[in-house]
Amino acid sequence: MTHTATQPTYADVEAAARRITGTVHRTPVLRSRRIDAGLGLEVHFKAEHLQRMGAFKFRGAFNALARFDARQRAAGVVAYSSGNHAQAIALAARELGIAAMIVMPLDAPASKVAATRAYGAEVVTYDRYSEDREAIGRAIANERGLTLIPPYDHPDVIAGQGTAARELIEDVGPLEAIFAPLGGGGLLAGTALAANALTPDTRIYGVEPEAGNDGQQSFRSGRIVHIETPRTLADGAQTLHLGELTFPIIQRHVSDILTVSDAELVDAMRLLASTMKQVVEPTGALAFAGLRKTAGELAGNRTGVIISGGNIDLPRFAALIA
């Protein structure tokens, strides 16, 4: 990495918020009386599935690319991703007039590959069950002088992701608990930085797929646990380990890491569709599914849930919720 990997702070989240204004959507906060009544608490949904390119990842990607110097801009960016980070880097690069090359798994959802190409990026594919995407990304970066922007373990990415929770708290005031999905921890770490600075009493929960609970294992054991590629519907959280930058922030500020099954994810997606008419991808429903499991302990609380993304092929969405 050409970047010095210093730990981001809340000041970096504030700087990111200024940098992304005018390009990244300030997404709405959604409410549902039926969901509140059903759970016995208040839920404030930060609707990042309505973000540009369909997920919060545009925040971190745009923040990182906006900080490139002239040489980096001229040479271009390379990224590896199962989907949303790819689209985010592709769109941010297009916005800033930077060339982008994206390393994507062969079995990535068709809509994500197509969208990445449509944003003007060059796509290189690999087999996620046998090849190492980080090594492929690093090799391309070295050979061609491109800057590698990883999907979560980068200070500018973490700071950018933290702007979602910052907006949520600005818009609705202090919350007793905030739930965020957990893959590599960029969103959860950014959320933790923002909430801890603005409302230090807020409890922060990360939610990851049961089949890939490396985050929970790491949180409990105090060291970064590595796992094999988990088989889960939540393709945006199929990460193998937390980051060197994200893990210490999560350890310091997060209350707990919860897990949910694929069936619980689909159930949460169905409820968001039937009650609120929202199309949310499986990974995007992680935080809400985690809140539903914990609702009993949070009776009467004001809670926040980050709906992180909505990129799913409609036939697949229909088949899942049918």
Q: What are phi and psi of 209, to 5 degrees?
A: -70, 140
Is the CB of residue 200 less than 8 Å from the CB of residue 172? no
- 160 lies in the site for ligand PLP, by CB under 6 A: no
Near ligand PLP by CB under 6 A: residue from 283, 290, 292, 303 = 283
Q: Following CA atoms 88, 90, 94, 99 in sequence, which dihedral angle do they give, to the nearest 10 degrees?
A: 140
- Does 47 help bind ligand PLP (rule: CB under 6 A)? no
Q: C-beta of 40: minimal distance to ligand PLP in Å?
A: 26
For position 289 contacting ligand PLP by CB under 6 A, the verdict is: no
Q: Does 182 bind ligand PLP (CB under 6 A)?
A: yes
Q: How far is CA 57 from CA 149, 195, 205, 309, in A?
A: 12, 18, 19, 9
Q: Whose Cβ is closer to ligand PLP: residue 38's or residue 225's? A: 225
CB nearer to ligand PLP: give 74 or 110: 110
Other CB atoms within a 10 A radius of the CB of residue 207 amount to: 32
For residue 213, state whether it binds ligand PLP (rule: CB under 6 A).
no
User: Rounded to an integer, what is the distance from CA 223 to the centroid of its chain?
Assistant: 22
Distances from the Cα of 46 to the Cαs of 8, 180, 285, 287, in angstroms?
22, 10, 12, 11
Interface with ligand PLP, residue 183, by CB under 6 A: yes
Residue 311 CB, shortest distance to ligand PLP, in Å, is: 7
Scan residues 82-141 and list those touching ligand PLP (CB under 6 A): 84
Least Å distance between CB 237 and ligand PLP?
5
- CA–CA separation, 15 and 99 (whole Å): 24
In whole angstroms, the minimum distance from the beta carbon of 90 to ligand PLP comes to 14
Q: Is 236 in the site for ligand PLP (CB under 6 A)?
A: yes
**Least separation in angstroms between CB 215 and ligand PLP:** 8
Q: Are 77 and 85 in contact (CB under 8 A)?
A: no
Task: Say whether residue 181 binds ligand PLP (CB under 6 A).
Answer: yes
Can residue 308 be called a binding residue for ligand PLP (CB under 6 A)? yes
Which residues form the catalytic set?
Answer: 57, 82, 208, 212, 214, 308
Q: How far is CA 146 from CA 100, 131, 139, 155, 233, in A?
A: 9, 21, 10, 18, 32
> 124: alpha, beta or left, given left = phi > 0 and alpha = psi -120 to 50?
beta
Of the candidate residues 108, 188, 233, 305, the single one contacting ligand PLP (CB under 6 A): 188
Say if CB 275 and CB 34 are below 8 A apart.
Answer: yes
Query: Min. distance of Cβ 208 from ligand PLP in angstroms?
Result: 8
- Using CB under 6 A as the binding rule, whether residue 55 contacts ligand PLP is answered as yes
CA-CA distance, 220 to 210, in Å (whole number)?
15
Burial state string for 94-112 with b = 16 or more CB within 10 A and e = fewer than 16: ebeebbbbbbbbeebbebb
Residue 178 near residue 202, CB atoms below 8 Å: yes
- Least spacing, CB of residue 164 vs ligand PLP, in Å: 11
Which residue among 76, 160, 284, 290 contacts ligand PLP (CB under 6 A)? 284
- Count the site residues for ligand PLP by CB under 6 A: 22
Chosen residue from 57, 241, 253, 292 binding ligand PLP by CB under 6 A? 57
Binding piece for ligand PLP, criterion CB under 6 A, among 19-27, 65-73, 221-229, 235-243: 235-243
Q: Does 162 bind ligand PLP (CB under 6 A)?
A: no
Interface residues with ligand PLP (CB under 6 A)? 55, 57, 84, 151-152, 161, 181-188, 236-237, 239, 281, 283-284, 308-309
